[in-house]
Amino acid sequence: MFSLIVVFLLLKLSFLFCSLSDPRCFWRIKDRENDLGDKETDCFFSIYTKRGYVKNDYFSENLDKKVTLKTIHLISSVYFAAEEINKNIYILPNISLIVKIECNLIADNVKRIWSLKKKEIIPNYYCKNQRRYLIVLTGPIWITSYILGPFLYFSQTPELYCGHFHFLLNDQEQFPHLYQMTPKDTSLPQGMVSLAVHFRWNWVGVIITDDDHGIQFLSELRTGMESNTVCLAFVTIITYNRMLYLKMYHKYYHQITMSSAKVVIVYGDKESPLQFNFILWKSENIQRLWVSVSQFDMITVIRDFMLNSLHGTLIFSHQQSEISGFKQFMQTVHPSNYSNDISLAKMWWTYFKCSLKPPDCKTLKNCPTKTLFKWFFVPPLGMSMSETCYNLYNSVYAVAHSLHEMLLQQVDTCSENDGTVMEFNSWKMFYFLKTIQFVNPAGDLINMNQNRERDTEYDIFYIMDFLKHEGLKMKIGRFSGHFPNGQQLFMSDEMIEWATDIKQTLASACSVPCRPGLRKYFQEGKAVCCFDCYPCPENEISNMTDMDQCVKCPEDEYANTDQTNCLKKVVTFLDYKEPLGMALAVLAVFFSSLTFIILCVFLKHRDTPIVKANNETLSYVLLTSLIFCFICSLLYIGYPTMVSCILQQTTFALVFTVAASCVLAKTITVVLAFKITVPGRRLRWLLLSGAPNYIIPICTTIQMILCGIWLGTSPPFVDADLHMIHEHIIIVCNKGSVTAFYCVLGYMGSLALASFTVAFLARNLPDTFNEAKLLTFSMLVFCSVWVTFLPVYHSTKGKAMVAVEVFCILASSAGMLLCIFVPKCYLILLRPQINSFHEFRKIHAKSININRM
């Protein structure tokens, strides 16, 4: 019993609360939600004329169904245009346009449609007092015009369709009475491709409807993408077949979520299953940047901005100017002018808590205009007209200008009834309408000529959420197909940066971009947007992102470490300013000076036994040749020229030939000198005649012939070696004929080897001052240096090769100088007591006795 009392009290309290908060007449309807949400509904705007100024009775007795915010905006745009025209003394003076509205016709059942049309539309027949409409404006849903269009044709009523362009309505045979205000989206695919290129999106998904609109759009989109290297990550084609759609729903979902594409293009019929798809996906939290057209700016009926994506939505809308007077018109609208329909009454009570008088709850009172104004401009509708509203606005003006032109041309009109209703010939007016052009109050040129080039200009808007069910709609650019390629898209970087950071954060690409220094490597069987990145080959660079091929550096440049830039190669040669060049130059000068000093010592002590015993003339020639050997090494240091290249090779060859032949002559002289001291020898005349001295000119002449052949066939020249060292250009003297070079070098080696052999065989001869041994050791040093030179020379690069050659010249020359002449200078300068004829004879006699023993 106690439980029943408690339940009864709770019920009583709930009823009491309802009576305090809800009007009694709404108890029966308060649980019925407005299932239309914020969806655009189909409407018929029937226009006729009356004489004089007549104010349209806004919404009165016209709306017998539920309405939405978007529907009210459509209706307001038509009334606003009619009000402007009726007040304008320059268009249809003393004539007013009257508009009758019928909405949600498709929502009625077939029986309701036919019963309505039986009363209103009978083909080619009108009752005497029945109103005949001049023209009908339809939109935004194309199916309304497609289904009800034949009735209008039978009643000889033309139609202006203000919704999105549709192929089926473009059939002139089936719809000769219909004119589409919205141009065909001929350049929309090109605009979307340009947008993808601008933001560097090369991996995008596409969602279309399975109809002519979607298929043609996809075909044009593919063509544009192929020419701009933008790839399709997936293509979702939404079928109209309900059973097939239910089977494919999960596939549609997985195509989007499993793809790496962050940008998805949406195109198709708004009333197709596309809308249902997005409603179902709302709870899945699909985060993508949606790119679509104006009819999809709010695709769901519950005022979601493309699934509340964090990245927002980019909208292409046909370019239009702002209608400034529309805002003021909406501000002056008062609820008392609205219909007393029960659905509108509930809407006012729900949003504004207006007073309602029972029992019918249709009388509205105390509705603040300021509150009403705020409600009408809840984002994203804002203060501006939608594209459909703008088309309806222009359509009313097109009708007015056509009628005005008819009046100017004195086309017959008739008046009936009380004389206030005027009737024009609808088909004649329609003929004028399809060819007329005018400038609307916003300053836009409206050209109704069907043979004109279709408008291909779009405004690009960015829509994003900032509060629940509230968003920001910002114009960030425009696209015009009239301009040449490369100039068609204009994007305001300032507006993009202010509104969003998609340019910096959102990347939609199949592969990570190849940074500079890398090149693309395309994978067989995959899209061109999917690739790997590989480093550029040696001495090749890529200085931009995503380069297909690397660029080879010029020969006088080299690639830096990152292979992003070509740097100028450093010109190098064995320079005097470098430590190595300076050291070699100092050694050359030092040894040449030392040789000159030794020559002076020998000249000063030319009458001493040591000088005379060592063949004075040959010693002078050898010392002079050694001086030139040291000096010729200086020709290898410094910037090479043609003269220096020729001189360094020929001078080197000749002076070393003279030096080697002098050593050979001295060796033979020592051998002869020892042999003829033995009694009974008949070779004394060879020594006395100076025959060994002829070896020098003979050997030198042979070398001169070889050098002449070398210079005559392929002489040395200045060469820039660009490839020997990666970062340097080596300026060297090219040998010209390598064969000639090695012939000259081999000839000198043969002389040195002959000298070494003779000296080695005579090393134990009893010479007074060990001349044979000194010559043997000097030739051993000479041959060792030049034998070592060959492998070392070929294993070095650049100026090091030149340095090796200079070092060998200095080392071999210094070896001969130190081994042959330094011991003699020691005796001349530090042991002068030995350097006398008396001591010389004693030493010589002792050496002969030792040899005989």
**Which H or E run includes 547?**
none
Beta carbons of 785 and 808 less than 8 angstroms apart: yes
Report the pLDDT value the prediction gives residue 852, as an integer from 0 to 100: 43
Please tell me whether residues 262 and 286 are part of one structural domain. yes
Q: Which of 174-183, 227-236, 604-613 has the lowest mean pLDDT?
A: 604-613
pLDDT band at 289 (very low <50, low <70, confident <90, very high): confident
Q: How far is CA 484 from the centre of its chain?
A: 21
Please tell me whether residues 196 and 293 are part of one structural domain. yes
Cis peptide before 537 (omega within 30 of 0): no
pLDDT band at 375 (very low <50, low <70, confident <90, very high): very low
180-192 per-residue burial string, b: 16 or more CB within 10 A, e: under 16: bbbebbebbbbbb
Three-class DSSP category at 211: coil
Give the CATH number, domain containing residue 82: 3.40.50.2300
| Domain enclosing residue 558, as ranges | 518-564
**Which H or E run includes 651?**
helix 642-676
| Total length of the chain | 853
Beta carbons of 422 and 49 less than 8 angstroms apart: yes
The overall average pLDDT reported for the chain is 75
Please tell me whether residues 117 and 256 are part of one structural domain. no
Mean pLDDT of all residues in 40-45? 79
Q: Is pLDDT at 180 greater than 60 in this prediction?
A: yes
Q: Specify the number of domains making up the chain.
A: 4
Q: From CA 80, how far away is CA 329, in angstroms rounded? A: 7
Q: How far is CA 599 from the centre of its chain?
A: 75
DSSP 293-306: EGGGTT-STT--ST
Report the pLDDT value the prediction gives residue 696, as an integer from 0 to 100: 84
Please tell me whether residues 811 and 713 are part of one structural domain. yes
Mean pLDDT of all residues in 661-671? 77
Mean pLDDT of all residues in 635-657? 87
Report the pLDDT value the prediction gives residue 12, as an integer from 0 to 100: 46
Beta carbons of 702 and 769 less than 8 angstroms apart: no
Beta carbons of 426 and 134 less than 8 angstroms apart: yes
Beta-bridge partner residues of 489: 479
Please tell me whether residues 613 and 536 are part of one structural domain. no
Please tell me whether residues 176 and 197 are part of one structural domain. no
Q: Is residue 512 part of a domain?
A: no
Q: From CA 657, how far away is CA 278, in angstroms rounded? A: 97
Give the CATH number, domain containing residue 650: 1.20.1070.10
Q: From CA 198, how far away is CA 383, in angstroms rounded? A: 30
Please tell me whether residues 832 and 698 are part of one structural domain. yes
pLDDT digits (tens, 9 = 90+) for 157-166: 899 998 888 8
Please tell me whether residues 392 and 403 are part of one structural domain. yes
Q: Is residue 24 part of a domain?
A: no
Q: Which of 109-118, 158-167, 389-398, 509-518 has the lowest mean pLDDT?
A: 109-118
> Highest-confidence range of 34-48, 215-229, 240-254, 277-291, by mean pLDDT?
215-229
Instruction: Look up residue 501 and give its DSSP letter.
Output: -
Q: From CA 275, how far away is CA 797, in angstroms rounded? A: 74
The CA distances from residue 398 to 401, 424, 470, 580, 842, in Å, are 5, 15, 35, 93, 141
Q: Is pLDDT at 689 greater than 80 in this prediction?
A: no
The CA distances from residue 589 to 205, 303, 504, 641, in Å, are 79, 95, 67, 21
Three-class DSSP category at 579: helix
Q: Which of 172-186, 188-202, 367-381, 611-625 has the lowest mean pLDDT?
A: 367-381
pLDDT band at 392 (very low <50, low <70, confident <90, very high): very high
> Highest-confidence range of 49-53, 185-189, 222-226, by mean pLDDT?
222-226
pLDDT digits (tens, 9 = 90+) for 420-464: 666 788 888 888 888 888 999 888 888 887 666 555 788 888 887
Does the pTM exceed 0.85? no
Q: Is residue 268 part of a domain?
A: yes
363-376 per-residue burial string, b: 16 or more CB within 10 A, e: under 16: ebeebeeeebeeeb
> Residue 379: phi, psi to the nearest 5?
-55, 150
Report the pLDDT value the prediction gives residue 695, as an integer from 0 to 100: 81
Report the pLDDT value the prediction gives residue 530, as an integer from 0 to 100: 87
Please tell me whether residues 112 and 211 are part of one structural domain. no
Q: Which of 151-160, 288-297, 470-479 has the lowest mean pLDDT?
A: 288-297
Choose between 573 and 136: higher pLDDT. 136
Please tell me whether residues 272 and 403 are part of one structural domain. no
Q: Is residue 240 part of a domain?
A: yes
pLDDT digits (tens, 9 = 90+) for 216-261: 889 999 999 988 889 999 999 988 887 888 788 888 888 888 888 8
pLDDT digits (tens, 9 = 90+) for 768-779: 456 667 777 888
Q: Is residue 628 part of a domain?
A: yes
Q: Is residue 801 part of a domain?
A: yes
Q: Which of 294-308, 550-564, 639-653 has the lowest mean pLDDT?
A: 294-308
Choose between 495 and 211: higher pLDDT. 211
Please tell me whether residues 776 and 846 are part of one structural domain. yes
* Closest of 627, 703, 697, 704 to residue 662, by C-alpha: 697
Report the pLDDT value the prediction gives residue 754, as an integer from 0 to 100: 83
Q: Is pLDDT at 395 greater than 90 in this prediction?
A: yes
Q: At 732, list the tokens.
A: 């060297």
Beta carbons of 813 and 591 less than 8 angstroms apart: yes
* Closest of 238, 297, 246, 311 to residue 268, by C-alpha: 238
Report the pLDDT value the prediction gives residue 295, as an integer from 0 to 100: 60
Please tell me whether residues 838 and 705 are part of one structural domain. yes
